[in-house]
Amino acid sequence: MSVACAGESRYYRFVSIMRLAIVAASSYEENGQVIPIPNAEIDVQLFGERLAEADAGFAVHVFPAQRGLAEGIEELIAGLGERPEALLVYFWGYALLSEERGATLLLDGPKLSSFTLARLRRQLAELADVALVILDTTLAEGSFGSRSTRCAPSAAR
């Protein structure tokens, strides 16, 4: 396994059948708009390592949940040279629900950015035959129908 510097993506291992897992998370420490999530990168790294074990059989790529995530996913799959047989996407972080845009994943950075679930769904339909998306999120303050204020994922559990 190789580990890259903070803010860069990490590869774990590749297997002969292309089953790809994309894992994305952020501590949200780069901005002051939401409460940071402690140990996000460590927890997601452990999840990625587990998916890369022989019995799971996934090639795992870890991305920071930051601006450019959608483009990073497209570039990764284009660079593989083959279409993944199965694609698993795991996102841990904040989400926003609005009447205008629907469900949106919040991406960290000096300024928060968004990645709508509608865009993610279209992207995955183009990139893989079968896809599973796991969202471990907390609604951010200001979400349509949200009753909580500025809570962090896992902190309320």
Q: What is the pLDDT along the chain (157 residues), one digit of tens a residue?
A: 333 334 555 554 544 458 999 999 988 988 888 888 888 888 888 889 999 999 998 999 999 999 999 999 999 998 988 889 899 999 999 998 888 888 999 999 999 999 999 999 999 999 888 999 999 888 777 665 554 434 444 433 3
Q: Where are the alpha helices (DSSP H) in 18-64?
A: 40-51
Q: Where are the alpha helices (DSSP H) in the chain?
A: 40-51, 69-80, 117-127
Q: Where are the domains of the chain?
A: 10-138
pLDDT for res 9: 57
Q: Confirm if 128 and 73 have CB atoms less than 8 A apart.
A: no
Q: How far is CA 102 from the centre of its chain?
A: 18
C-beta separation of 37 from 46 below 8 A: no
Position 142 scores a pLDDT of: 64
Distance CA 112, CA 114 (A): 7
User: Is the pTM higher than 0.95?
Assistant: no
Residues 25, 19: contact at Cβ < 8 Å? no
Fold of 10-138: Rossmann fold (3.40.50)
- pLDDT attached to residue 17: 57
Contacts of 75-78 with C-beta under 8 Å, sequence gap 24+, read 76/9, 76/22, 77/20, 77/127, 77/128
Question: pLDDT at position 37, please?
Answer: 87
